[in-house]
């Protein structure tokens, strides 16, 4: 054996089971807990094969490792093979297995890098997307839907080229950060000759109880309105044409810096006005008691003023009448070398049926959102996420198939 344990050890851990693991499978926002030394979410597994890619509707795991790559080879048949390999690797990894069993030959590098050898699946999901430039480089631009074009520049964007664009993305989410990273590492490693890593971002969220919406680094519950989006997923989320993307969705990623020190000097009252929601409960500002009460933008106070500030983040986004599925993660990457402040923010990941939903909302937030004073968009990407894969098929088969 090349490495002690490996697949066998992982198998054993799975069989040993975890008292709470099964019971908690699919519990949104569940934070770390332990049962007799083993994390109770260790054994949560999501099937890789199915109608949809996982990692979209999947209850949000605690960690993300998000990677964007460029093509190093612009040949369709080569990339087809890469996606075939990624399909079989992803099917193994998401079930808590190494990509392949270790071999006997000690004179070659081990098949798997090994850092997940003692770890179960931890609810790992791997979600793959491709960009307009991917189609162009592979001569497939005729297959691009007309709405699949680079995003326009928005007011106040400060996008940095090193965090913008790219050809392929992988969103790896798990309830263990090492599991999420390990999976991406294996996928890149096997495709090293054909792709170049462009940028990546690790992120986290946390919530104690299953029913809780996680809070972002400004202390506000973030993701409340997703409940509305999910009432009409066909309208807001799933693409119906072209054929290769039917049942898939568009992912927009924005790396957004959050100026924590400025925010921390802001009064509670102003913080509430910024989001248009109560900070403690997440309920609509001014009248709401419950987080999920509808936002009533027409409500006026005794002086005829809108109860929910019209330039608040929630009011402006809500007034567009558009919705999206947000699946954002916080990030914190040490201290900014120039400002000496926290280098932190939100990896804003959102899924939608058409990129236009994002464009309309971001245009409405534009210059007027009260939140703009505290954030800066520094990275961006648009990706089409394939529909789910049936067993025997591979990711993107309807696009890449011969």
> Per rule CB under 6 A, is residue 342 in the interface with ligand HEM?
no
Tell me how far the alpha carbon of residue 346 is from its chain's centroid: 11
Integer Cα distance of 29 and 26 in angstroms: 9
Among 375, 385, 399, 400, binds ligand HEM (CB under 6 A): 375
> Per rule CB under 6 A, is residue 205 in the interface with ligand HEM?
no
- The three-state (H, E, C) secondary structure of 82-151, written as one string: HHHHHHHHHHHHCCCCCCCCCCCCCCCCCCCCCCCCCCCCCCCEEEEEECHHHHHHCCCHHHCCCCCCCC
What contacts 24+ positions apart, CB below 8 Å, involve 16-20? 17/43, 18/42, 18/43
**91 contacts: CB under 8 Å, gap ≥ 6:** 48, 49
Among 199, 358, 383, 394, binds ligand HEM (CB under 6 A): 358
Among 87, 318, 330, 397, binds ligand HEM (CB under 6 A): 318
Q: Which is nearer to ligand HEM, 110 or 233 (CB)?
A: 233
> Per rule CB under 6 A, is residue 223 in the interface with ligand HEM?
yes
Helices 76-93 and 177-190, interaxial angle, to 10°?
A: 150
Integer Cα distance of 93 and 41 in angstroms: 16
* Pick from 70, 61, 67, 131: nearest CA to 94: 61
Among 122, 220, 342, 383, binds ligand HEM (CB under 6 A): 220
Can you spell out the DSSP letters for 36-78? Answer: TTEETTTT----SSSSS-SSSSSPPPSEEEEEEEEES---HHH
Instruction: Report residue 325: phi and psi, to 5°.
Output: -100, 110
Among 218, 250, 383, 386, binds ligand HEM (CB under 6 A): 218
> Per rule CB under 6 A, is residue 275 in the interface with ligand HEM?
yes
Integer Cα distance of 134 and 147 in angstroms: 15
Give, in degrees to the nearest 5, the angle at Cα 288 between 318 and 204.
Answer: 65
Window 45 to 74, contacts with ligand HEM (CB under 6 A): none
Among 346, 349, 389, 395, binds ligand HEM (CB under 6 A): 346
Only segment of 56-64, 68-76, 84-92, 217-225 that touches ligand HEM (CB under 6 A) = 217-225
Strands 168-174 and 329-335: unpaired
**375 contacts: CB under 8 Å, gap ≥ 6:** 256, 257, 258, 259, 345, 346
Q: Which is nearer to ligand HEM, 48 or 374 (CB)?
A: 374
What track of x and - describes contact with ligand HEM for positions 225 through 264 (by CB under 6 A)?
x----------------------------x-x-x------
* Pick from 280, 255, 259, 232: nearest CA to 349: 255
> Per rule CB under 6 A, is residue 169 in the interface with ligand HEM?
no
Upstream peptide bond of 242 is cis (omega within 30 degrees of 0):
yes
Only segment of 45-53, 73-81, 155-163, 219-227 that touches ligand HEM (CB under 6 A) = 219-227
3-state class (DSSP) for residue 346: strand
> Per rule CB under 6 A, is residue 317 in the interface with ligand HEM?
yes
Q: Which is nearer to ligand HEM, 190 or 375 (CB)?
A: 375
Residue 113 vs residues 181, 198, 238: alpha-carbon distances, Å: 11, 21, 36
Only segment of 20-28, 130-138, 202-210, 215-223 that touches ligand HEM (CB under 6 A) = 215-223
> Per rule CB under 6 A, is residue 400 in the interface with ligand HEM?
no
Q: Which is nearer to ligand HEM, 5 or 286 (CB)?
A: 286
Q: Which is nearer to ligand HEM, 86 or 358 (CB)?
A: 358
CB of 56 to ligand HEM, least distance (A): 16
Integer Cα distance of 355 and 351 in angstroms: 9
> Per rule CB under 6 A, is residue 272 in the interface with ligand HEM?
no
Only segment of 72-80, 89-97, 98-106, 314-322 that touches ligand HEM (CB under 6 A) = 314-322
Q: Which is nearer to ligand HEM, 309 or 314 (CB)?
A: 314
Tell me the number of residues near ligand HEM by CB under 6 A.
Answer: 26
Q: Which is nearer to ligand HEM, 84 or 332 (CB)?
A: 332
CB of 19 to ligand HEM, least distance (A): 33
CB of 46 to ligand HEM, least distance (A): 23
- Judged by the rule CB under 6 A, the positions of this chain that interact with ligand HEM are 216, 218, 220-225, 254, 256, 258, 275, 277, 295, 313-314, 317-318, 324, 346, 348, 358, 361-362, 365, 375
């Amino acid at each position: 054996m090349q490495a002690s344990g490996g697949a066998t050890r992982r198998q054993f851990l799975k069989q040993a089971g975890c008292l709470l693991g099964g019971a908690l499978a699919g519990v949104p926002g569940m934070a770390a807990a332990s049962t007799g030394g083993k994390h109770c979410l260790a054994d949560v597994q999501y099937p890789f094969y199915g109608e949809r890619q996982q990692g979209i509707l999947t209850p949000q795991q605690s960690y993300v490792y998000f990677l964007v790559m460029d093509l190093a080879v612009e040949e369709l048949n080569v990339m087809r093979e890469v996606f075939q390999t990624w399909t079989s690797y992803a099917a193994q990894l998401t079930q808590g297995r190494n990509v392949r069993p270790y071999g006997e030959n000690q004179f070659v590098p081990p098949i798997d890098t090994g850092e997940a050898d003692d770890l179960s699946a931890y609810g790992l999901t791997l979600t793959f997307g491709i960009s307009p430039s991917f189609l162009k480089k592979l001569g497939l631009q005729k297959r691009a839907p007309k709405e699949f074009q680079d995003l326009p520049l928005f007011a106040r964007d400060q996008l940095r080229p090193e965090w913008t664009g790219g050809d392929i993305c992988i969103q790896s989410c798990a309830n263990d950060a090492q599991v999420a990273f390990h999976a991406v590492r294996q996928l890149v490693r096997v495709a090293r000759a054909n792709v170049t890593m462009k940028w990546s971002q690790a992120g986290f969220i946390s919530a104690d109880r299953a029913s809780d919406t996680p809070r972002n680094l400004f202390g506000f519950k973030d993701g409340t309105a997703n409940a509305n989006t999910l009432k009409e997923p066909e309208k807001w989320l799933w693409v119906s044409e072209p054929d290769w993307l039917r049942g898939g969705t568009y992912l927009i990623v924005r790396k957004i810096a959050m100026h924590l020190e400025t925010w921390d000097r802001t009064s509670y009252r102003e913080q509430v006005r910024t989001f248009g929601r109560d900070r403690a409960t997440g309920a609509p500002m001014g009248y709401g008691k419950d987080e999920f009460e509808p936002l009533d933008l027409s409500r006026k106070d005794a002086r005829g003023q809108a109860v929910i500030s019209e330039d608040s983040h929630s009011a402006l986004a809500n007034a567009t009448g558009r919705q999206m599925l947000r699946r954002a993660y916080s990030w914190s990457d040490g201290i900014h070398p120039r400002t000496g402040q926290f280098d932190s923010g939100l990896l804003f990941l959102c899924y939608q049926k058409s990129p236009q939903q994002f464009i309309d909302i971001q245009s409405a937030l534009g210059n007027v959102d009260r939140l703009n004073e505290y954030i800066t968009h520094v990275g961006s990407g648009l990706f089409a996420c394939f529909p789910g894969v049936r067993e025997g098929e591979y990711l993107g088969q309807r696009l890449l198939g011969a």
